[in-house]
C-alpha cells in the first residue's frame, strides 16, 4: 500500500491511545473510535479515482515523513505572538494539534461555558458526548474523518449550556510549529451549543517556521433548538502546509448557523463543510473566500442537507486565483422528500488573475421535494478591463486599480465577520497578500 509509512504511524498512535484507556476501552466514546480505525484501515487514503477527490491529488503531500506529537520548543510568548489585534474573549491555544490548557484563557463563567478534554467530557457529560461525538461524521465513507475520529484524543469539547448567550467569542488558535521538522497534527474538537444558546467561534490556523505540516482537523458542531452560532475558520499556513479539514454541523429547529471559511494561505487545502438541517425554520449561511497564489491548491467541498420543511440555506464562495494556483469548489445541496418549502441558494464566484491559474467548480443539486426554491450559479472570469481603465482614467495606477478591485471583490465576505479581532486580522492579511 502506498503511504505505508504514514499509515504505520497512525496505527502506532492509535495503539498508544488504546494502551492508556485504563479499562475504558468499551465505553461508547472509545467504541466509536475503534470502529473508526477499522473504517480507516479498510479505506486507506483516497486517490483521484475517488469522485470526491478528482481534482485534489494527495499523492505528493502524503509522501512526507511527518512527525506527530512533536514537543514544541516555542515559548509561551512565541505561541501567543500570532498577530490577532485586540484579542478578546475565550482564547484557546493548540500547538501541533494538542490543546494547551496552561496557555489558554477562559473568561466566560463556567455555568455558561465549559471547556473539557475528551477524557474530562467522558466523566462530566457522558450522555452529551455519546449523543454528539461522531454522530454525523461519515467515517464509513470519508477516510480522513475516520482517521480523525480514531485518533481523537488531544482536542476539546466545548459546551455552551442551554439559554446562555456567550458575550465573549471563543477563539481557537491552532499553531503548527514547523521550525525544525515536518509536523503532523490530528485536531478534533466538538462544540455543543445548547437550546436557545448563542455563541461566536473562530478557528485560526497558522504555522511558525518553514518546514512542512500535515493537519487533519475535524470540528463537530451541534446547534440546539433556537440556538445561534457564528463560526469562522481562518487558514493562514505556510506554502508547505497540508490541511484537510471537516466541519460537521447538525442543526435543530429554528436555529441559525453562519459559517465563513477564509483560506488566506496554505499549500494544499481541503475544507469540507457539511451541514445537516435537521429541523424546521432553520437558517444556514455559508461564506467562503480563498486567495491562493504560487502553486497553492484550495479545495472547498460543501454539503447542505435539507431534511425537514421550511428552512433556508444560502451559500456564497469567492475565489481570487493567482500565479499557478488551483481551486476547487464542489457544492452539494440535498432537499429530501419531506423538506417542502425549502429555499436553498448557492453561488461560487471566481476571479482568475493569471493565465496559469485554474478553477474547477461543480454544483450538485439533488431535490426530491416538489415545492422548493433552489438556485445555483458558478462564474469564473477575469477582472473587468473596462473597470480598470475607468479607474486609470481617474488617475489611479493600473496595478492599484487591480488591487482595489480584488479587495472590493473580497470585501463583502470579510465585512460580515462579527469578531472584531478576526475581522481586523483578515483585513490585514488580505492586504498583505493582494498588496497595499
Partner 1 sequence: MLKISDLKASVDGKLILNGINLEVKPGEVHAIMGPNGSGKSTLASVLAGRDEYVVEGGSVIYQGEDLFESAPEDRAAKGIFLAFQYPVEIPGVTTINFLKTAVNEIRKKNGQDPMDAASFLRMMREKSKLVKIDPELLKRSLNEGFSGGEKKRNEVFQMAMLEPTLGILDETDSGLDIDALRIVADGVNELRNEDRSFIVVTHYQRLLDYIVPDHVHVLYKGRIVKSGTKELAKELEEKGYDWIKAEVDNQVPA
Nearer to partner 1 by C-beta: 36 or 351? 351
Phi-psi region of 425 (alpha: psi -120 to 50; beta: other; left: phi over 0): alpha
Nearer to partner 1 by C-beta: 25 or 381? 381
Contact segment (CB under 8 A) with partner 1 among 87-95, 135-143, 230-238, 406-414 equals 406-414
Contact segment (CB under 8 A) with partner 1 among 161-169, 184-192, 292-300, 409-417 equals 409-417
Q: Does 326 bind partner 1 (CB under 8 A)?
A: no
Least Å distance, CB 29 to partner 1, is 47
Contact segment (CB under 8 A) with partner 1 among 33-41, 89-97, 240-248, 407-415 equals 407-415
Least Å distance, CB 398 to partner 1, is 7
Least Å distance, CB 382 to partner 1, is 15
Nearer to partner 1 by C-beta: 26 or 385? 385
Show the 3-state SS of 67-118.
Answer: EECCCCCCCHHHHHCCCCCCCCCEEEEEECCEEEEEEEECCCCCCCEEEEEH
Q: How far is CA 300 from CA 50, 259, 268, 271, 335, in A?
A: 16, 13, 11, 5, 20
Candidates 411, 420, 424, 427: give the one binding partner 1 (CB under 8 A).
Answer: 411
Cβ partners under 8 Å of residue 238, min gap 6: 178, 207, 209, 210, 213, 265, 266, 267
Nearer to partner 1 by C-beta: 332 or 433? 433
Least Å distance, CB 407 to partner 1, is 8
Least Å distance, CB 391 to partner 1, is 7
DSSP string, 358-423: EEEEEEEEEE--SS-EEEEEEEEE---HHHHHHHHTTT--HHHHHHHHHHHHHHHHHTT---HHHH
369, 340 Cβ separation under 8 angstroms: yes
Contact segment (CB under 8 A) with partner 1 among 45-53, 88-96, 186-194, 408-416 equals 408-416
Candidates 405, 421, 422, 430: give the one binding partner 1 (CB under 8 A).
Answer: 405
State the CB neighbour count (10 A cutoff) for residue 55: 17
Nearer to partner 1 by C-beta: 379 or 392? 392
Least Å distance, CB 410 to partner 1, is 8
Measured N-to-C along each axis, helices 143-150 and 4-19 cross at an angle, to the nearest 10 degrees, of 30
Integer Cα distance of 428 and 343 in angstroms: 35
Least Å distance, CB 288 to partner 1, is 17
Nearer to partner 1 by C-beta: 106 or 404? 404
Nearer to partner 1 by C-beta: 161 or 383? 383
* Total site size for partner 1, rule CB under 8 A: 21
Least Å distance, CB 317 to partner 1, is 16
Nearer to partner 1 by C-beta: 50 or 407? 407
Nearer to partner 1 by C-beta: 303 or 426? 426
Least Å distance, CB 376 to partner 1, is 20
Query: Cell 487558514 sits at which residue?
Result: 235
Nearer to partner 1 by C-beta: 48 or 397? 397
Q: What is the CA radius of gyration of the chain?
A: 21
Least Å distance, CB 184 to partner 1, is 39
- The single-letter DSSP state of residue 165 is B
Least Å distance, CB 353 to partner 1, is 16
Integer Cα distance of 148 and 132 in angstroms: 15
CA-CA-CA-CA torsion sign (31, 37, 43, 47): positive
Chain Cα centroid distance, residue 310: 27
Integer Cα distance of 278 and 258 in angstroms: 16
DSSP-derived 3-state class of residue 311? coil
Spatial CA neighbour of 171 closest among 229, 230, 89, 243: 89
Nearer to partner 1 by C-beta: 257 or 409? 409
Q: Which of residues 361-400 bind partner 1 (CB under 8 A)?
A: 384, 386-387, 389-398, 400
Candidates 5, 107, 408, 431: give the one binding partner 1 (CB under 8 A).
Answer: 408
Integer Cα distance of 379 and 264 in angstroms: 20
Binding residues vs partner 1 (CB under 8 A): 384, 386-387, 389-398, 400, 404-405, 407-409, 411-412
Amino acid at each position: 500500500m502506498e503511504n505505508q509509512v504514514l499509515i504505520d504511524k497512525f496505527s502506532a498512535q492509535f495503539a498508544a491511545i488504546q494502551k492508556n484507556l485504563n479499562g475504558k476501552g468499551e465505553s461508547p466514546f472509545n467504541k466509536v473510535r475503534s470502529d473508526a480505525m477499522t473504517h480507516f484501515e479498510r479505506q486507506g487514503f483516497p486517490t483521484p479515482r475517488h469522485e470526491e477527490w478528482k481534482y485534489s491529488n494527495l499523492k505528493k503531500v502524503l509522501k512526507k515523513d511527518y512527525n506527530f506529537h512533536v514537543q514544541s520548543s516555542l515559548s509561551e510568548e512565541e505561541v501567543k505572538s500570532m498577530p490577532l489585534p485586540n484579542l478578546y474573549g475565550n482564547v484557546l491555544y493548540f500547538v501541533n494539534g494538542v490543546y494547551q490548557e496552561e496557555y489558554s484563557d477562559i473568561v466566560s463563567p463556567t455555568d455558561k461555558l465549559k471547556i473539557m478534554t475528551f477524557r474530562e467530557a467522558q466523566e462530566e457529560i457522558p450522555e452529551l458526548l455519546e449523543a454528539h461525538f461522531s454522530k454525523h461524521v461519515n467515517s464509513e465513507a470519508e477516510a480522513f474523518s475516520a482517521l480523525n475520529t480514531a485518533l481523537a484524543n488531544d482536542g476539546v469539547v466545548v459546551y455552551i449550556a442551554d439559554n446562555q448567550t456567550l458575550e465573549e467569542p471563543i477563539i481557537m488558535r491552532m499553531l503548527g510549529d514547523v521550525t525544525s521538522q515536518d509536523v503532523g497534527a490530528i485536531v478534533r474538537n466538538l462544540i455543543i451549543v445548547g437550546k436557545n444558546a448563542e455563541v461566536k467561534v473562530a478557528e485560526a490556523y497558522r504555522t511558525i517556521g518553514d518546514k512542512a505540516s500535515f493537519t487533519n482537523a475535524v470540528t463537530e458542531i451541534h446547534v440546539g433548538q433556537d440556538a445561534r452560532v457564528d463560526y469562522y475558520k481562518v487558514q493562514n499556513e505556510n506554502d508547505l502546509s497540508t490541511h484537510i479539514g471537516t466541519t460537521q454541523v447538525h442543526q435543530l429547529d429554528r436555529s441559525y448557523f453562519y459559517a465563513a471559511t477564509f483560506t488566506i494561505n496554505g499549500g494544499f487545502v481541503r475544507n469540507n463543510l457539511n451541514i445537516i438541517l435537521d429541523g424546521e425554520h432553520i437558517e444556514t449561511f455559508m461564506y467562503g473566500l480563498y486567495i491562493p497564489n504560487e502553486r497553492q491548491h484550495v479545495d472547498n467541498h460543501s454539503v447542505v442537507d435539507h431534511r425537514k420543511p421550511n428552512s433556508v440555506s444560502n451559500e456564497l464562495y469567492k475565489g481570487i486565483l493567482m500565479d499557478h494556483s488551483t481551486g476547487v469548489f464542489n457544492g452539494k445541496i440535498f432537499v429530501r422528500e419531506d423538506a417542502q418549502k425549502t429555499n436553498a441558494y448557492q453561488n461560487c464566484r471566481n476571479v482568475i488573475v493569471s493565465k496559469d491559474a485554474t478553477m474547477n467548480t461543480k454544483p450538485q443539486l439533488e431535490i426530491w421535494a416538489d415545492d422548493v426554491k433552489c438556485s445555483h450559479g458558478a462564474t469564473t472570469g477575469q477582472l473587468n478591463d473596462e473597470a480598470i481603465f475607468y479607474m486609470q482614467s481617474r488617475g489611479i495606477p493600473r496595478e492599484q486599480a487591480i488591487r482595489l478591485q480584488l479587495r472590493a471583490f473580497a470585501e463583502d465576505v470579510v465585512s460580515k465577520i462579527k469578531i472584531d479581532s478576526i475581522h481586523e486580522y483578515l483585513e490585514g492579511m488580505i492586504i498583505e497578500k493582494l498588496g497595499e
